Amino acid sequence: MTTISMPAPGGIPLLGLGTYPLMGEEAYRAVRMALDLGIRHIDTAQMYGNEREIGRAVAASGLPRGDVFVVTKVDPGNVGASRFAASVARSMEDLGGPADLLLIHWPPAEDDFDAALDRLMAERAKGNARAIGVSNFSPAMMRRAQHRCGGALVNNQVEFHPLLDQKAVLATARELGLVLSAYSPLARGAALKPAAIAAIASRLGRPTSEVVLRWIMQQGVVAIPMTTKRENALSNIATLSLELSAEDMAAISALGTRQGRTINPSWMAGRWEP
């Protein structure tokens, strides 16, 4: 099976496997399946409670560790000074070594924002992460964070799919030299339903999921769909051979609104903009 290594700008494999909300043996089996099929990008987080299974699956795959790109994220409850370093040490133990990309999962509180980024930089300096980034940061937060880190951040992982207008986030990421990664890329199935997407899929003879994922990746955004099914993983891989026309891209982009968010925790109220 061909390795899925086509990179987005920044060297992050363009297609990965999301692992939320998989736990235990289900998480282990999904990662083994993905790696066996050639996917080389695995996304996890302290919050998911499955880092140990991800580490075990990567080790059991027999692949050189340098061939697998592993992403994890520091939980909001661990981002403070008293817990950050210890939590990252536990993650590295569970994963079996340094992460390829370590993210702050959710924006820190205002009074700890800059200091949390300093802690993230310190983990990279200690060798616990080959690269660092953030997740769920607004454009203004991205600018502040990248300035604080002296341009060292490479990634912002955000909800990204056709139903959510993230043009400002994507434009800011490009301005700052960051790659966006798309979690919830199918909007928990809602992005498969619009008639415009179904019409494009029918004309191309491809599943609607492939059209949605291609719309994401064709913009240079990394897609990390979760699946436990081999047929779905193979379909996700097949997306890499698809090309959408400019007209198709525009028709899909027109579906997005700022109200299209599916992940919207209470602690982010008022923090998504600007």
Active site residues: 48
Cβ-based neighbours of 184, under 8 Å, separated by 6 or more? 159, 160, 161, 262, 263
In angstroms, the CA 184 to CA 159 distance is: 6
Strand locations in the chain, DSSP E?
Answer: 17-18, 41-43, 69-74, 101-104, 132-135, 153-159, 179-183, 222-223
CA 40-208-200 angle, to 5 degrees, is 125
In angstroms, the CA 197 to CA 209 distance is: 9
Query: Which two three-digit tokens encode residue 63?
Result: 């692949």
Residue type, 163: L
Q: Going by DSSP bridges, is the β-strand pair 101-104/17-18 parallel, antiparallel, or unpaired?
A: unpaired
In angstroms, the CA 133 to CA 103 distance is: 5
In angstroms, the CA 156 to CA 180 distance is: 5
Query: Which two three-digit tokens encode residue 31?
Result: 């990662």
